[in-house]
Amino acid sequence: MKGREVLGVDFCGDRLNVVQVHLDEVSKRPVLTRWAGRTVPAAAESAAVAAVLRKMLDGEGFTATSAVFGLPRGRGFLRTQAAERSEAEVFSRVDYVSDGWTAADGRPVLGVASRADVARQAEIAHQASLQLLAVELRSLGSLRTLGLLGVSEAPGEPAGPAGQPAAGAAVLGVVISETDLTVALVDGGAVLAVQTRGRPAGGGLERWDGALTAAEQMLRMVELAHPEAPAGAVRVLVNDRDRQAARSLTNRLGLPVELVSPASAANLGVEGELTDPAEYAAAIGLALEGLQDIAVSRPRRDRVAGRLNFLQAAKPPRRKRAVSWRQAAVVAAGAVLVALAVTAGYALNKRSDLNELAAERDRLQQKAQLGWQARHRWLAISPWLAAADGGGRAAQREVLDAIAGLFPSKDAYVQTVLVQPGQDDDSRAVTLTGRTRHSRPLSEFVSKLNNSAMFERASLGRVADDSAKSEFPKSFSVSVSYRGRR
């Protein structure tokens, strides 16, 4: 029986609900055999959730190992677009997964969920030692249990139980459980809107009246959003103790209300007494989806019913076979050949990497040589461009040319040239500072300045030694006057 039974796992807030459904071999009808629920904090780690799930399955007599997991409430959405529109490409394939089906009238129904949420459900299933058939939106499970999305009873039979709404007839589905309220508008297999609200804690008629008010408000919001598909009827699934109170929905909503059960809406048999079907509505629909996959032995999409499956169907395990000594020898020889090939490939890759590094080194050396040459050229011209410490700057080109022609550039160099007003209006005082290897070129330079027709009163200032500069160890200053225009 394990090959024809499936678990439906529903995460509803702080509650974990699980059902087990199997396919009756004689009647070909799905039968609900087990159901149970446990409290699990919504923020619990996946390992803690898997431990609670595994303990509940073992303690309550569940025997199925295949499961369909529902995403927690609010962790994904459904949307029906016009046939010519598609928005699946809007969502990043890295962050989101999308899936859907096409309704009978050609409208695509799109479902989107976070990839991280789907991965978390897969991790929980793995840690609980379950074979995960699919991850679905929990609202789809509720709609299947309401009979608003068809389910094939057996391969080759038409989709949908008795009472399935015809294509084009909009039906409002309502599920009122102890923890939340779900309202959905379905138009011939196209899900136009799904809304879920939490219910406050407590009991009595006041809390039930609040649920009816919330259902009425959600219906009005759906009507405003989709005026092209007004609801013609309402299907309601509630717990047995609330069925009498739910009859007042006809007056509150102004539409004919049909109170359904999983047996009537989804053609589901129940072993025992299920007094709170609304709590397990989503889990039942998820299990029915997985049972259909097993019945047809592959993932299936009905044009009217449709389905979402954010995971690829798991492949059946292969039969284990004993390995002969010949097979072991072949495997060993293959492993040796692979190792040799990997080693040779590694050596070739390393040689290629070394060649690339050598080429890169040569390129960098050439670049460094060019940089060194550019630096020396800059050192040769920068003294004539740098500002003096006193704030002045040489602006007379003829002065610079005359000084450059008299200066011994091989044994000394000038760092700054400062031109200031002289003793009278048309004279200028020029101060040169620089560095030299020895003092003899400076004396020659001062003599050349005094003997020139342009300069006068040239004198050598203080010459100081600086051991930090090995090539030009002495610093100097020379002052000279000349006459020219301001």
Q: How far apart are the first and last CA of the chain?
A: 111
In the chain, % of residues over pLDDT 70: 81
Which segment of 27-36, 96-105, 382-391 scores lowest on mean pLDDT?
A: 382-391
In the chain, % of residues over pLDDT 90: 21
pLDDT bin (cut points 50, 70, 90) of residue 164 is very low
Q: How many CA atoms lie within 13 A of 374 on its CB side?
A: 6
Q: Both 12 and 114 in a single domain?
A: yes
Identify the pLDDT of residue 162: 35
Identify the pLDDT of residue 160: 37
| pLDDT for residue 438 is more than 50 | yes
Q: Both 54 and 115 in a single domain?
A: yes
Taking the C-alpha atoms of residue 245 and residue 287, their distance in angstroms, rounded to an integer, is 29
Taking the C-alpha atoms of residue 194 and residue 73, their distance in angstroms, rounded to an integer, is 11
The stretch 5-28 carries a mean pLDDT of: 91
On whether residue 447 sits in a domain, the answer given is yes
Q: Both 338 and 446 in a single domain?
A: no
Q: What is the pLDDT of residues 345-380, one digit of tens each?
A: 888 888 888 888 888 888 888 888 888 877 766 665
Q: Both 164 and 117 in a single domain?
A: yes
| pLDDT for residue 158 is more than 50 | no
CATH of the domain at 439: 3.30.1360
On whether residue 301 sits in a domain, the answer given is no
Q: Phi and psi at residue 176, in whole multiples of 5°? A: -115, 105
How far CA 110 is from CA of 88, 113, 129, 193, 361, in Å, comes to 7, 10, 31, 12, 56
Q: Both 133 and 146 in a single domain?
A: yes
On whether residue 441 sits in a domain, the answer given is yes
pLDDT bin (cut points 50, 70, 90) of residue 397 is low
Q: Which of 76 and 49 is assigned the larger pLDDT?
A: 49
Taking the C-alpha atoms of residue 314 and residue 67, their distance in angstroms, rounded to an integer, is 11
| pLDDT for residue 63 is more than 90 | yes
Q: Which of 160 and 282 is assigned the larger pLDDT?
A: 282
pLDDT bin (cut points 50, 70, 90) of residue 285 is very high
The strand ranges marked E within 40-169 are 66-71, 76-80, 96-102, 108-114, 131-137
Identify the pLDDT of residue 425: 67
Identify the pLDDT of residue 253: 82
The answer to whether the CB of 197 falls within 8 A of the CB of 213 is no
Identify the pLDDT of residue 300: 44
Identify the pLDDT of residue 72: 87
> Closest Cα partner for 35 from 26, 48, 22?
22
On whether residue 303 sits in a domain, the answer given is no
On whether residue 312 sits in a domain, the answer given is no
Q: Both 334 and 405 in a single domain?
A: no
Identify the pLDDT of residue 321: 62
What's the total number of domains in the chain? 3
pTM exceeding the 0.85 threshold for the entire prediction? no
Q: Both 391 and 423 in a single domain?
A: yes
pLDDT bin (cut points 50, 70, 90) of residue 64 is very high
Is 41 in a helix, a strand, or coil? coil
38 sits in which H/E element: strand 30-39
pLDDT bin (cut points 50, 70, 90) of residue 241 is confident
Tell which of 332, 347, 381 closes a domain: 381
Query: Which residues face 443 on adjacent strands?
Result: none
Q: Both 255 and 285 in a single domain?
A: yes
On whether residue 398 sits in a domain, the answer given is yes
Q: Please give the DSSP secondary-structure letter assigned to residue 385.
A: T
> Closest Cα partner for 5 from 36, 31, 26?
31
Which segment of 149-158, 180-189, 255-264, 339-348 scores lowest on mean pLDDT?
A: 149-158
The stretch 211-224 carries a mean pLDDT of: 85
The answer to whether the CB of 96 falls within 8 A of the CB of 296 is no
pLDDT bin (cut points 50, 70, 90) of residue 298 is very low
The stretch 39-60 carries a mean pLDDT of: 92
Exposed / middle / buried, residue 95 (Cβ in 10 Å: 0-12, 13-18, 19+): exposed
Identify the pLDDT of residue 317: 41
pLDDT bin (cut points 50, 70, 90) of residue 157 is very low
Identify the pLDDT of residue 90: 67
Identify the pLDDT of residue 260: 92
Compute and round to an integer the Cα radius of gyration of the chain: 44
Taking the C-alpha atoms of residue 225 and residue 21, their distance in angstroms, rounded to an integer, is 36
Taking the C-alpha atoms of residue 320 and residue 322, their distance in angstroms, rounded to an integer, is 7
Domain hosting 105: range is: 2-296
Q: Which of 157 and 109 is assigned the larger pLDDT?
A: 109
Q: Both 475 and 366 in a single domain?
A: no
Q: Both 292 and 336 in a single domain?
A: no
On whether residue 162 sits in a domain, the answer given is yes
Q: Please give the DSSP secondary-structure letter assigned to residue 178.
A: S
Q: Both 335 and 349 in a single domain?
A: yes
On whether residue 11 sits in a domain, the answer given is yes
Is 229 in a helix, a strand, or coil? coil
pLDDT bin (cut points 50, 70, 90) of residue 390 is very low
Q: Both 367 and 401 in a single domain?
A: no
What value does the mean pLDDT of the chain take?
80
